[in-house]
């Protein structure tokens, strides 16, 4: 027996089994909802931007769905070992388009039945070949962003090889060294990082001493502090065991975080401590909803709260934020529910923080935040984070305006 994936109008091998939430109207074959997304996830996907960030979030949510069905999946897996008939798991999307069936193939079939995995029908793993003159033969299915970054890596002196796997992931190697398998969003971060010495050594320590010629990084990319130091206040620097402890805590609560509802956040995950504050813009005229987060809900959060008390005494909310590689938060002013003045710890990853000092988005100053940097700033001024090359964690601390504090007996 061999297990394949395909789409309804494509080539089929053996018995066809539908794994879409809703099979075609004329469908008369078997339907296996065990591997289907939920109606909620499907509706979320239809309303999303359907970009790489949305794809990563879809995969995260669908992975949780599969985990919740693990007992049933294991029963299905056991049954397939005695099945003599080839089967093809089908959905609507054409080969090469984003589809949850690739995740089923990767996280179920390849994990539990690797000897039965046949891949996507009609595809083979494409090869990326370096030819004379530094030119590269690219499969036509590669996204333009990936192709562009591969070309930039080669021109920077790093002839990276990037094979696309049947599951949609990318296998990256350089000079024969395997650099791992990455999602589309992940490979964008890896290829970007390979071009910069700062990130290269952190992504792949073995490349820190690589000898290929690297173009000089423009000064503005690693700029020192702007001439005016008044827009942010550098308060402290976490280092060593203290920083490592906070980093480990962040990683431990990642599966409890949820997608940000902010219209400015691009693929960000968040978690609220002390208070949950629904984000509303000043133009909406709506008041923010504030709820108490029960103490002790997140084990170990007292570490974060203790740091917050040092940076912003008597703060009302801590917002733990995770920015996957390639994401950003656009220039914005914080919710009207917040009082003026906020603090932030840049826990993991490097970030370019920009802020205005005169409410003019055309006059922004930029500051590089390194791991462990603690700053205070005026959150009522336009500010934002440019797209990050690697995964980034931070925590922001806020006080609420008096009117919201009175509602919760805070003042």
Low-confidence ranges of the chain (pLDDT < 70): 123-142, 144, 166-168, 185, 195-230, 279-286, 405-411
Instruction: Residue 184: name the closest of 90, 94, 58 by CA.
Output: 58
Residue 351 CA to residue 268 CA, distance in Å, equals 14
Output the pLDDT for position 222: 40
For the chain, which domains are there? 3-120 (no CATH), 129-210 (no CATH), 221-407 (2.60.120.590)
Output the pLDDT for position 214: 38
Output the pLDDT for position 407: 57
Q: From residue 159, give the alpha-carbon distance in Å to each of 58, 126, 154, 210.
A: 32, 17, 4, 12
Q: From residue 279, give the alpha-carbon distance in Å to each of 284, 285, 289.
A: 11, 12, 8
Residue 61 CA to residue 113 CA, distance in Å, equals 23
Output the pLDDT for position 221: 40
Q: What is the pLDDT of residues 265-283, one digit of tens each?
A: 877 889 999 988 876 654 5
Mode of pairing for the β-strands spanning 87-91 and 3-7: parallel
Output the pLDDT for position 336: 85
Calculate the dihedral angle through the C-alpha atoms of 189, 192, 194, 195, rounding to the nearest 10 degrees.
Answer: -160
Residue 280 CA to residue 120 CA, distance in Å, equals 44
Output the pLDDT for position 219: 40
Instruction: Say what angle helices 240-252 and 302-311 make with each other, to 10 degrees.
Output: 130
Q: What is the pLDDT of residues 209-268, one digit of tens each?
A: 444 443 444 444 444 443 344 688 888 889 998 899 999 999 999 888 888 777 788 778
Residues 378 and 341: beta-carbon distance below 8 Å: yes
Instruction: Say what angle helices 52-68 and 70-80 make with each other, to 10 degrees.
Output: 80
Token code pair at residue 283: 């133009």
Output the pLDDT for position 197: 62
Token code pair at residue 411: 């003042």
Output the pLDDT for position 63: 92
Q: State the CB neighbour count (10 A cutoff) for residue 255.
A: 11
Output the pLDDT for position 226: 39
Encode the chain in three state secondary structure: CCEEEEECCCCCCCEEEECCCCCCCCCCCEECHHHCCCHHHHHHHHHCCCCHHHHHHHHHHHHHHHHHCHHHHHHHHHHHCCCCCCEEEEECCCCCCCCHHHHHHHHHHHHHCHHHEEEECCCCCCCCEECHHHCEECCCCCCHHHHHHHHHHHHCCCCCEEEECCCCCEEEEECCEEEEEECHHHHHHHHHHCCCHHHHHHHCHHHCCCCCCCCCCCHHHHCCCCCCCCCEEEEEECCHHHHHHHHHHHHHCHHHCEECCCCCEECCEEEEECEEECCCCHHHCCCCCEEECCCCCCCCCHHHHHHHHHHCCCCCEEEEEEECCCCEEEEECCCCCECCCEEEEEEECCEEEEEECCCCCCCEEEEEECCCEEEEECCCCCEEECCCCCCEEEEEEECECHHHHHHCCCC
The span from the first CA to the last CA of the chain, in angstroms, equals: 68
Residue 266 CA to residue 276 CA, distance in Å, equals 20
């Amino acid at each position: 027996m061999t297990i394949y994936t395909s789409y309804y109008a494509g080539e089929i091998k053996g018995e066809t089994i539908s794994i879409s939430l809703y099979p075609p109207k004329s469908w008369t074959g078997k339907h296996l909802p065990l591997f289907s997304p939920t109606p909620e996830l499907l509706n979320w996907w239809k309303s999303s931007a359907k970009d790489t960030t949305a794809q990563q979030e879809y995969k995260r949510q669908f992975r949780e769905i599969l985990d919740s069905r693990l007992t049933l999946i294991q029963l299905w897996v056991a049954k397939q070992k005695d099945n003599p008939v080839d089967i093809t798991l089908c959905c609507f999307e054409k080969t090469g388009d984003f589809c949850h069936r690739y995740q089923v193939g990767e996280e179920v079939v390849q994990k539990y039945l690797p000897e039965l995995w046949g891949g996507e029908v009609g595809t083979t793993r494409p090869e990326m070949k370096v030819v004379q003159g530094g030119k590269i033969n690219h499969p036509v299915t590669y996204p333009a962003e990936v192709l562009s970054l591969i070309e930039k890596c080669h021109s920077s002196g790093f002839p990276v090889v990037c094979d696309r796997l049947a599951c949609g992931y990318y296998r990256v190697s350089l000079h024969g060294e395997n650099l791992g398998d990455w999602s589309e969003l992940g490979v964008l971060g890896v290829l970007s990082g390979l071009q910069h010495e700062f990130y290269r050594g952190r992504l792949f320590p073995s490349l820190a001493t690589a000898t290929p010629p690297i173009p000089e990084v423009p000064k503005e990319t690693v700029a020192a502090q702007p001439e005016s130091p008044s827009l942010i206040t550098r308060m402290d620097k976490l280092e060593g065991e203290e920083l490592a402890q906070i980093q480990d805590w962040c990683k431990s609560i990642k599966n409890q975080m949820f997608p940000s509802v902010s219209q400015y956040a691009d693929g960000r995950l968040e978690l609220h401590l002390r208070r949950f504050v629904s984000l509303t813009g000043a133009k909406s005229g709506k008041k923010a909803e504030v709820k108490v987060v029960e103490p002790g809900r997140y084990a170990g959060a007292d570490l974060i709260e203790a740091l917050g008390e040092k940076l912003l005494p008597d703060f009302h909310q801590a917002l733990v934020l995770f920015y996957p590689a390639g994401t950003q938060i656009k220039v914005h002013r914080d919710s009207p529910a917040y009082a003026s003045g906020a603090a932030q710890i840049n826990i993991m990853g490097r970030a370019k923080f920009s802020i205005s000092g005169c409410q003019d988005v055309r006059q922004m100053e930029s500051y590089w935040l390194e791991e462990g940097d603690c700053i205070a700033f005026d959150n009522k001024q336009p500010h934002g984070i440019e797209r990050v090359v690697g995964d980034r964690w931070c925590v922001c601390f806020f006080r609420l305006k008096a009117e919201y504090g009175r509602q919760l007996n805070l003042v």
